[in-house]
Structure 1
Amino acid sequence: MASNFTEKAVVRQSLTAVISLMVVLHMGICLGYSAVLIPQLRTKESLLKITNSESSWIASSNTVFMSVGSLFTGILMDNYGRKRALQLTYIFLFFGWIIIFRADSVLALYLGRIITGLATGMDSVAVVYIVETSTLQYRAMFLSWMTPIIMFGVLLSYMLGHFLFWKYSALILSFFSGVCFIQVFIIPESPSWLLSKNRIEEAVKSLKWFRVDPQYIFVEMKELQASMLQFENCLEKTSIIEKIKLTRAWKPFILLTIYFCLTQFSGDNIIISHAVNFYQSFDTPIDPFTSTLIFISLRLFSSLIFLIIIGKFNNKSLIVFSGTGVSISYLLAAVYQYLYGSAENKPMFWFPLVCVWSSVIFTSLGLSNMSWILGGELFPSSVRGFMSSLLWTTFYILMFSAIQIYPSLENYVRTSDILLIFSINALLSTLFVKYTLPETRGKTLTEIEKFWRNDVNL
């Protein structure tokens, strides 16, 4: 009977994770869509003509508004629930793709890209939903699906753009968004959020759906109630200023922001967005399409390996291994470029490329993929909705800043210097995680929450 309980619980939690992560799939699709949209708009046969400046804004408008969507979703999650926020995300995606499908002007394309950007920026709801509905045995595994799903979304976008006219691709994606919206009705609201709104009976019913086993339900319900009661008692005794200073709210946010800042400037997203210019700086004979295909293939492959090893090693150990590998890979490429970057006949011209591809593999084994897990696990339930959305807003701003800074940086410093910057930031990321962040593998959310109680009377 216990085995039957477990099987049902795993199936239901997995279903919830898949339905939630369709938002992340759309993120990958949106990131890759501009790469197939813009070339089609630039053909002689295109009825809608665009300039270089317009193509740049079509590509970047999606990313800019992801940070706005991320901040907006925190308010939605805390006030209306995780489920409704997730459904609203799919509604935005549906109308965004419809606008792109019907676009007959550049302004309409901007609007469609902005709306889809707002929606994909709301992906923190998927992280929070998964964290609050999964048991600790499967929580990290579900969150580790995010990067391979993003990469699969990019590939899917490329495939649609290769075989179909861009309007037809948008129409198919709008239909897909509508299907995702309907699927959310299958799963219940997060028990943690229901409990935070004092909807006890609904919280118990939701927990029964996710856990099935009555003994597990009783124990977890008691833990959730005790944790929230302790937090509420603390808030009643503090002033507004003191509430802001609560360790469990601000400390994980600040630490994760520093971590994200270091990782954003360790090369990963910069290379994704500037692959052509980046590879051209090595004076390599490999064409941009091949370089992009190799990059995405390696990223997807290594992310799948991450899914296998995530349950076998501690989270911090994976980040240390990953960050060290990334740092060494970039350092070797930097040394090579410093010695032979200006040489006419470069010995082993493929060496820096192999180093960069090696860094892609290493970063997927912990440094980048672990961001989703840490961002979802470290905040307590009482502030998880708002703080998670604020964190991912900061993440997208940092990502946009890193992507925007790179072209200017490329004009003032050598390629070897840029590679050295990537190497140093990867190393600093590793050291930062090792000595500041807690280990979360094998710990319940209540146990993780206790880590932040050292300097306050909670």
Structure 2
Amino acid sequence: MFGHIKSTPSASLNWKLITAISVLGFMGMSRGSDEGIISGVSSSKSWLQRFQVQDGSSAQSNVVSMVQLGSIPGSLLAFLVVDQLGRLRTSQICCLLWLVGNTVWITSPGSVGQVLAGRFVSGLGIGGFPVVCPTFLAEIAPATVRGAAVGAFSSSVYIAILIGYSVNYGVSLHYDDTDERIWKIPVAVNFIFAGLALMGTLAIRESPRWLLGKAREEEAIGNLCWYRGLPDDHPFIKEELEGIRTQTGMERQASELANKPGTTRLVELFSKSSNLYRLFVIGFGIQILGQWSGGGSLTIYAPKIINLVEKTSDTTLFTT
């Protein structure tokens, strides 16, 4: 293990790689930002009055959960197109959906239907990020920092939850609870996150592994050298390319033998016992245990839960 770490050239841990990890890791803020912000926004008196929604009603619950609902088809769509369009292009589309959804939401003239539509569109983008970003990060990072690179995406979720809570608390201190800015400012924070993420994608390059899988070898070698800060004749580059070629070659051969269209992968996901095990036992199991631990359910409804013992809104938001 330590020999492997020492064999990784220091040049491969450069600002280009750090930039890419930061940009893709930053996209995890999409989930955390929404969970932290909506927890306060949907309970604010100004928002409830503006959209004529009763606190604790099904309409309020629908607004809160619409991003999660949109994330389901969003993740499935990303699963279907990420190998066709590429990691970089798919992540950019997710950023655009996130931006468009928030624009539809914040410009609503008091229409709950428009809010639901906007949050659903945002959910499409937010649901795509966990499909694209960890894969993208794993493919561009050297093996010695791959775990830390993928972990940056998960960490940003919780950082964004804290920021969302803090923004809600901050506006509650400076604006009256009937002022519309008390919910518009927190929602507008999403534009900062989404805008920075989208601009960041312009500073990074496509995954070399994906390019090799598409037989775009020259471009793949150029991108790998760019990420590693090494020439194409460096032994480290040659060794990594050989490993990628071997793996992508096996995958391409298996795909050709199967002679199946891309959409068939979705059918196989639910028809093969091995895939069902991964889907239900590992995939769904992790999500269920994650929700039971408080992730998502607790973060979204924390102000309401804490309000059971805290009687003032400022104290509740601070405690949250």
- 1:209 is aligned to 2:236: no
> Alpha-carbon deviation of 1:291?
9.6
**In the alignment, which residue of structure 1 is the partner of 2:86?**
81
What does 1:58-77 correspond to in 2, within 5 Å? Answer: 58-77=63-82
**Relative to structure 1, is the Cα distance of residues 189 and 111 closer, same or farther in structure 2, using a 3 angstrom cutoff?**
same
> Alpha-carbon deviation of 1:75?
2.6
Q: Which amino acid aligns with 2:98?
A: L
Q: Residues of 2 paired with 1:274 and 1:235: CA distance? A: 40
Q: Residues of 2 paired with 1:92 and 1:64: CA distance? A: 15
What does 1:202-241 correspond to in 2, within 5 Å? Answer: 202-213=219-230, 214-238=234-258
TM-superposition CA deviations, 1:393-419 (whole Å, max 9, x none): xxxxxxxxxxxxxxxxxxxxxxxxxxx
Q: Is the 8 A contact 1:97 1:112 kept in 2?
A: yes
What does 1:135-150 correspond to in 2, within 5 Å? Answer: 135-150=142-157
Q: What SS class does the counterpart of residue 51 from structure 2 fall into?
A: coil
What does 1:22-421 correspond to in 2, within 5 Å? Answer: 22-40=26-44, 42-43=45-46, 46-51=49-54, 52-104=57-109, 105-123=111-129, 124-164=131-171, 165-213=182-230, 214-238=234-258, 251=274, 254-255=277-278, 257-266=280-289, 268-269=291-292, 271-272=294-295, 274-275=297-298, 287=310
Q: Which amino acid aligns with 2:136?
A: Y
Q: Residues of 1 paired with 2:237 and 2:290: CA distance? A: 44
Q: Which amino acid aligns with 1:56?
A: S
**Relative to structure 1, is the Cα distance of residues 152 and 54 closer, same or farther in structure 2, using a 3 angstrom cutoff?**
same
Q: Which amino acid aligns with 2:50?
A: L
Higher mean alpha-carbon deviation, 229-238 vs 203-212, is at 229-238
Q: Residues of 1 paired with 2:279 and 2:47: CA distance? A: 47
TM-superposition CA deviations, 1:158-207 (whole Å, max 9, x none): 12222332112323422432232111011110011111111111000011
Structure 2 residue runs without a partner (length 5+): 1-5, 172-181, 303-307
Q: Residues of 2 paired with 1:45 and 1:137: CA distance? A: 50
RMSD of aligned C-alpha atoms? 3.5
Q: Which amino acid aligns with 1:47?
A: R
Q: Is the 8 A contact 1:192 1:203 kept in 2?
A: yes
Q: Residues of 2 paired with 1:58 and 1:136: CA distance? A: 41
Q: Is the 8 A contact 1:102 1:167 kept in 2?
A: no
**Relative to structure 1, is the Cα distance of residues 195 and 44 closer, same or farther in structure 2, using a 3 angstrom cutoff?**
closer
Higher mean alpha-carbon deviation, 2-11 vs 140-149, is at 2-11
**Relative to structure 1, is the Cα distance of residues 137 and 35 closer, same or farther in structure 2, using a 3 angstrom cutoff?**
same
Q: Is the 8 A contact 1:95 1:174 kept in 2?
A: no
Q: Which amino acid aligns with 2:26?
A: M
Q: What SS class does the counterpart of residue 189 from structure 1 fall into?
A: coil
TM-score, structure 2 normalization: 0.77
**Number of residue-to-residue matches in the alignment:** 286
Structure 1 residue runs without a partner (length 5+): 280-284, 297-458
Q: What SS class does the counterpart of residue 150 from structure 1 fall into?
A: helix
What does 1:11-22 correspond to in 2, within 5 Å? Answer: 11-22=15-26
The answer to which structure, 1 or 2, has the higher relative contact order (CA under 8 A, 6+ apart) is 2
Q: Is the 8 A contact 2:11 2:229 kept in 1?
A: no
Q: What SS class does the counterpart of residue 21 from structure 1 fall into?
A: helix
> Alpha-carbon deviation of 1:224?
1.3
> Alpha-carbon deviation of 1:128?
1.0
Q: How high is the sequence identity, in percent, across the aligned residues?
A: 19
**In the alignment, which residue of structure 2 is the partner of 1:308?**
none
> Alpha-carbon deviation of 1:46?
3.5
